[in-house]
Amino acid sequence: MIIEEITEKNYKEQVEKLEGEVETKLKQF
């Protein structure tokens, strides 16, 4: 495994998680 690949995967997962949280907060209003 290459560290860059792991970092990129983790980054994408964090971004998707944050986007999901933002969408949830927007739906509450």
Task: State how far the alpha carbon of 4 is from the alpha carbons of 10, 14, 15, 29, in Å.
Answer: 10, 15, 16, 38
Tens digits of residue pLDDT in 1-29:
688 888 999 999 999 999 999 999 888 76
Would you give the DSSP letter of residue 20?
Answer: H
CA-atom Rg of the chain in angstroms: 13
H helix or E strand, kind and range, residue 29: none
- pLDDT for 18 equals 96
CA atoms of 19 and 16, how far apart (whole Å): 5
